[in-house]
Amino acid sequence: MENKEALKNIAEELKDLIAVFQANNKTLYLVGGTVRALFFPGPGEKTSISDIDLATDATPEEIKDLVKNFADAMWLTGEKFGTIGFSKNGRRFEVTTFRSESYFPSSRKPMVSYSTKIEQDLARRDFTFNAMAILLPQGNLIDPFGGLNDLKAGVLRTPLTPEVSFSDDPLRMLRAARFINYLNVTADDTIVQAARKLKERLKIVSVERIRDEFSKIVLAPDPSKGLWFLIETGLFDQFMPEIPALKLEQDPLHRHKDVLVHTIEVTRKTNQDLVLRLAALLHDIGKPSTKKITDQGVTFHGHDIVGAKLAKKRLKALKYPNNVIEDVFLLIKLHLRVHSYKNGWTDRAVRRYVRDADYLLDKLNALIRADCTTANQIKAQELQSRMNELEGRIAYLRQQEELESIRPEIDGHRVMELLNLKPGKEVGLAMQWLMELRLDEGILGKQEVEKRLLKWWNSRNTSLGNDASNN
């Protein structure tokens, strides 16, 4: 075992609870990801040994009675599924009655039945390396399905046949992609075939569970292997069909970059941030519907706007939080803006770029840099040089001005005072004019701004008066 000391500490920490279970002729096992992490935490896995999963032959009612004098706090949110949660000295524990669970063909909620044997409980687990248990306090490893060998070999297998496992809980097909990412394992061919066969069964799983599992897949240090698993098995078609649709047909005369390969590469190159990863994955989904073949080649004009709208619709369907949806929408909408910089940007354009990106500026710049996947080193260097120059311009203007909070130098109250106005549409028009002035010329000083505003206002009223007399 890789972490004997950690197991020893857990057993010592739980010795009083173990004694209570033993005194009542009940067994207690360490199970699940906790056991796997003791042997092999995985190169990218975030699982630590801070949260402890336990299994027992005691019923939920018995668990509550056995735990009550040991725990600092107890919660019962999982009781109907056989799980009692509690904390002790700041560590969280969950104790679950040996059980099996399955779904009716059209059900979104699992049916749970209890068991008295650890082997039956382990058989219902998702993958073999999660179907191991350690008897407490003795430390005996229970590994009826060869999970430890699979870990060492880097193979993803299920305890029962994949058809049975995935039919019982279709979300396990997405969890396969997650473990492929975090543990850097390769799915057994039987898993791939079963996922292709049962992919439509994912429809019985709630959108929220799909969303949460997918987010974990996307947030892996390198999400590419798991994403390709979702594409190759057809699972993506069930909840995000826009991604496999990026595999655009090509003809010998009008070839273009493989958009799907490019998309996975862009996603891989971004930081482990949910908004940034989702924006990277979805940034080109507008291309299939905007593809046109011209004399100059293949174009995708407007795919940024189309893609932003499609991304918003898809993320809403998956019930992502509104702030995540809006941030992804804006990043996709703006991700081509920088390409106009090759013709040179005025200070006004730089200010507008910063204002439009707002607090997403750093993420937008990161997405744009990651979006460069060309093998042409000259083109790649040109884009990176443009980004370096743009970020340099932004840094310079930040020193001169408060770019992060670009706003007119006088507020609406002063506008009403100067122009003798009451709250209304005309104040809004004046504020818009002042914003354009701020973007065009930067900081001028309040005295100069007020002088310019009065001049604009008088000129505007004169023009409106002439129009009225002409009519």
Tally of domains within the chain: 4
420 and 349 together in one domain: no
Give backbone dihedrals phi and psi of 185, rounded to 5 degrees, phi first: -105, 165
Specify whether 272 is located in the same domain as 306.
yes
- Residue 168 shares a structural domain with residue 77: no
- The pLDDT value recorded for residue 343 is 61
Q: What is the CATH number of the domain that holds 79?
A: 3.30.460.10
Assigned domain for 259 exists? no
Closest CA to 238 of 229, 246, 226, 230: 230
Is the same domain home to 22 and 142? Answer: yes
Query: pLDDT tens digits for 106-138?
Result: 665 666 778 889 999 999 899 999 999 999 999
Same domain flag for 27 and 124 = yes
* Residues with pLDDT less than 50, the chain: 46-47, 251-254, 468-469, 471
Say how far residue 240 (Cα) sits from the centre of its chain. Answer: 13
For residues 364 and 448, membership in a common domain is answered with no
Residue 464 is predicted with a pLDDT of 63
Handedness of CA 81, 87, 91, 97 (dihedral sign): negative
Q: Is residue 276 located within the same domain as residue 388?
A: yes
Within a domain: residue 252?
Answer: no
Residue that is last in its domain, among 152, 186, 201: 152
Same domain for 234 and 280, yes or no, is no
* Structural domain span for residue 52: 4-152
Q: Which SS3 state, helix, strand or coil, does residue 344 take?
A: coil
CATH number for position 167 = 1.10.110.30
pLDDT in tens, 173-219: 999 999 999 998 999 999 999 999 999 999 999 999 999 999 999 99
Task: Read off the pTM.
Answer: 0.80
In this prediction, residue 254 carries a pLDDT of 44
Answer yes or no: is 341 within a domain: yes
136, 230, 264 from 314: Cα distances, Å: 46, 17, 18
Is residue 102 in some structural domain?
yes
- Residue 253 belongs to some domain of the structure: no
Residues 12 and 147 placed together within one structural domain of the fold: yes
Distance CA 40, CA 148 (A): 9
pLDDT, residue 49, reads 61
**In whole angstroms, what is the distance from residue 65 CA to residue 377 CA?**
67
Residues 123 and 174 in one domain: no
Q: Do residues 9 and 148 both lie within one domain?
A: yes
Determine, yes or no, domain membership for 78: yes
DSSP labels for 104-172? -TT-SS-EEEE-S-HHHHHHTSSSGGGS-EEETTT--EE-TT-HHHHHHHTEE--SS-HHHHHHH-TTH
Residues 6+ apart with CB under 8 A from 436: none
Does residue 254 belong to any structural domain of this protein?
no
Classify residue 260: in a domain, yes or no: no
> Are 344 and 399 part of one and the same domain?
yes
Name the domain boundary from 224, 239, 254: 239
Q: Which of 130, 152, 174 lies at the terminal end of a domain, its last residue?
A: 152
